[in-house]
Amino acid sequence: MPELPEVETTVNGLRIKVLNRTFIDIWTDSFSLIKKPPNFADFKKAIKGRKILDIKRKGKNIVFYLSGGIVMLVHQKMTGHLLFGKWKKQKEKWVSGLKGPLKEDPQNRFIRVVFFLNNGFQIALSDLRKFAKIEIWEKTTFNNGLVLNRLGPDAMEVSFDYFKKKIKSRKAKIKQVLMDQNFISGIGNIYSDEILFLAGVNPQIRANAIPLEKLKKIYKAMRNVLKLAVDNGGTSFSDYRNPNGIKGNFGNLTKVYRKTGQMCPQCKTEIKRLKIGGRSAHFCPNCQKI
């Protein structure tokens, strides 16, 4: 699932290309992705003719602020990613009219939703497993906080005082706590592993048992890892691509994620993998003892 760096990369890429453009039409063959309003005709009516005024990230959510006080919320979920380009329907399939990864990378071919813009370009949602969701909200309703009311503060913006206070109240393992979107938003499986490795903290330790100095290291590592990942366009181990259809580069910089059996880059101990809360955790048992 795209995490904070991937969603931030998507938002930054789309802002350059589509701000002040207008939706003139929309197509889908995957009506279940449109969650609100559930009737596709109503959804089309709600966005047609609306100008894209701004695009922001809220946790792992992409938020389009449209003219007329309308907000469109997109969550890419497991395999979804938004693309920008030009496509034509050929024998029931959408084919990119632009050379390069949009046309050649197979991960960009699962076109489920196409938004037509007033400059001849389109925003397309590619989603292999069809888990993404798209919702329309009135801006006043969206801004009252109830739509994303369980979403914790952003991992790139949260203060250390909040981080420390909330961590000390949690008995769950630190890997699970970092991934809890109600605690802080934006961190998933990849970056929790990388953050804990950089901080030298074992993913199995209970959050409320972590000493203050280690909490400071986790907090600093969180900011550093996420910033580095954003600077490198996120991670593309599987499905994620940026709006140009290009893979992120952070996968070349990971230290422990998906490196089971390889040697730790710091101490040459074998990297281990275990399950925590149903998710894989990759770590160095020597560098991450506490």
Token reading at 31: 């009506």
3-state secondary structure of 128: coil
Strands 279-283 vs 272-276: parallel, antiparallel or unpaired: antiparallel
Active site (annotated) includes residue 279: yes
**Which of 50, 57, 58, 60 does the annotation list as catalytic?**
60
Active site (annotated) includes residue 2: yes
Active site (annotated) includes residue 3: yes
**Which of 2, 101, 203, 243 does the annotation list as catalytic?**
2
Active site (annotated) includes residue 60: yes
Rounded to 5 degrees, φ, ψ at 38 are -70, -20
What sections of 35-173 are H helices per DSSP? 40-47, 101-104, 139-143, 160-168
Strands 93-96 vs 70-75: parallel, antiparallel or unpaired: unpaired
Query: Do you know the residue count of the chain?
Result: 290
**Which of 15, 21, 170, 279 does the annotation list as catalytic?**
279
Report the amino acid identity of residue 153.
P
The residues annotated with a catalytic role in the active site are 2-3, 60, 279
